[in-house]
Structures are given as C-alpha cells and as structure tokens.
Chains A and B, each alone.
Chain A
Amino acid sequence: MNWEENLESAARSLGARLERPAPPVRRRLRTLPIAGGLAAVAVAALLAAWPRPRPDPVAPIAAEYAEAFRLEALLDQSSWDPEARRAFTEAMSRIDRAIEASHEALRRDPANPVHAELCHLAYDAKARLIRSYRR
C-alpha cells in the first residue's frame, strides 16, 4: 500500500470515528500566552503613561538674547561713578526678577502666547539696559 492509499485508508477510519460520540474534552486556559499578553499590555500602558521630558519653553527665547548678554561681562563697572553703578545694579535686579517671573509663568503654561511675549519683553529690556550702559 503506497502513501496515498495509506492516507486515504486512515482518513476513512478517522471519518468513521468522528461520527461516533466524542471523547470528553475540557477547555483550558493557556496561562503562558495569557501572561505574555497581559505583560505586553502592561508594558505598553506603562510606556504610554511614562512622563516624557518636555522641551524647556524658555531656552529658545534665552538663546535669542545670548549675544546681548555676552556684552554684560564686558562692561567695565569699575570705571563708573557709584551712582551709575547703583542705578545699573538696581535696574538689572528688577529686570532679572521680571525674567524669573516670566520663566515660571511660561514653564507653567508653555502654550500661552502672552507668557512667551512677556518673557521676550523682559529679555529685551535687559538687552537694552546693557546696550545703554555700554555706550
């Protein structure tokens, strides 16, 4: 009997068996794929919920004024009279406080264009102050 005939004979025997009552079966959960699936879902959920570092909204604004602030280091305050030095220091400290406040506001609400504009204005005021004392 060749393979094909053998297969046909076995298939006919199978057919006859399949008509008779089935052996009792029970349904079982496959624990390994279920555990794997749950682990994959948990990892995916964790990755989705993981806080990603957001870009600092202040950095690009500060970068625009970096060149102006480089000049601050070049100011020779020792040659100034005390009154001018005091006025400069006072004005600079007020502007720095305004810059700090604008940073805080912008970091709290980066999408708010008003905060970005205030930050620009504060930096711009500092740059103008430095330029005015450089002359």
Chain B
Amino acid sequence: MGTAEPEQLHDRIVECAPLVRRVVRGILGFGHDAEDAEQESFAQILASLGRFDGRGSVEGWVRCIAARTAIRLRRRRRWARWFVQDEPAAPDPDPGPDAERIARLLRALERLSVQERAVFVMKYQEGRSFAEVAEAVGCAEATARSYAFRASRKLRRILGGAL
C-alpha cells in the first residue's frame, strides 16, 4: 500500500471528511442526496483501500472517489428529482459573511448538467488541474475543458455577470 501505513492512511482518510462533504455538496447541493453520497463515498473509499497505490496524494484519491460517487448518485436518482425536492426547512443558522453571493451561486449551479457542475466544483472550487478534473469526472482532459467553458458561460448568463 505504498509508503503509508494502514493506520496512518486511516487517519488521513478521516481527516478528509470535510473535503468529501465539500465535493459532494458542491455537486449535489445541501440535501439528503449529498448526505447519502457522503456516506457512500466513505463506504467506497474503505472498500477500495487495497487499490490505493500511494503514488498520488490521499486527498486527490479521496476527492476523485467523492466526485464520482456524487455523479453516480445524481444519475441514479435523476427520475426521483421529478417527484421529490429538498427545500430549506429553516433559515441557514451559519450563513457566513458571503451568504447572499453563495446562495445565488448555488441556485445557478442547479441549472448546470451534472458533468458541468462536477467540473465546476473540481476546477473552480477545488482548484484542481484539468488532468485531475478529467480523472475525477471520468472523461478526457479536452472534454473537461469544454465542460468548464460551458459551465462558466452558463453561469455568466444565469447570473448576468453579477456575482
């Protein structure tokens, strides 16, 4: 299992919890699907521990699994979205300083395709290279660039350039 001992690897995976949450929520938004994807991601990570070769970073590997799990879950439940909807049950208890801007961006992200949104999350939110984005989303690097371009253009149109 590369250079990391199993215990160290386990600790580092546990430390990745915020990263996993960030990625799956970025792709799926706040809601039950994101919670399910978070749990599924950890189940997937634990199931694939034996396949981690230690060549890349643990964070990169975890991020990749989280993104793929979120995309898969969104595809699997695409019909359910016609019939059920997650909506805020109470005001955000922890809106933060940039709340309005973030809420606007989240609403605009809802209108992207799952690939465009995943690429947006990996590229803009996570600041990864296009090679890493392509690996996480499961497409060619050129396709990832194209998704990123389309996502940016769509968001600009939706938000009217005001972000």
Contact = CB atoms under 8 A, between A and B. Distances in A.
24 contacts: A3-B161, A3-B163, A7-B152, A10-B163, A13-B101, A14-B105, A15-B22, A15-B125, A20-B94, A21-B94, A23-B91, A24-B88, A24-B90, A25-B32, A25-B86, A25-B88, A26-B86, A27-B84, A28-B85, A28-B87, A33-B82, A34-B83, A37-B82, A37-B83
A4 B120 CA distance: 11
A21 B163 CA distance: 23
Interface in A5-45: 6-8, 10-30, 33-34, 37
Given A13-B102, A14-B26, A7 B163 contact: yes
Contacts of A34: 83
Contacts of A6: 163
Contact of B83 (A15, A21, A22, A33): A33
B87 A17 contact: no
Given A10-B102, A37-B83, A23 B92 contact: yes
Interface SS of chain A? helix
Contacts of A10: 98, 101-102, 105, 163
B121 to A, nearest CB: 8
Nearest to B24: A18
Given A3-B161, A22-B25, A27-B32, A11 B86 contact: no
B124 A30 contact: no
Given A7-B124, A24-B88, A19 B18 contact: yes
B84 A29 contact: yes
Contact of A17 (B96, B121, B126): B96
Contacts of A29: 83-85
A13 to B, nearest CB: 4
Given A3-B161, A4-B152, A18 B22 contact: yes
Interface in B77-119: 82-94, 96, 98-99, 101-102, 105-106
A24 B18 CA distance: 18
B21 A19 contact: yes
Given A13-B98, A18-B22, 8 more contacts: A7-B156, A10-B98, A11-B125, A14-B26, A23-B88, A29-B85, A33-B83, A37-B83
B141 to A, nearest CB: 19
Contacts of B22: 15, 18-19
B87 A26 contact: yes
Nearest to A1: B163
B61 interface: no
A28 B94 CA distance: 23
A27 B21 CA distance: 19
B30 A22 contact: yes
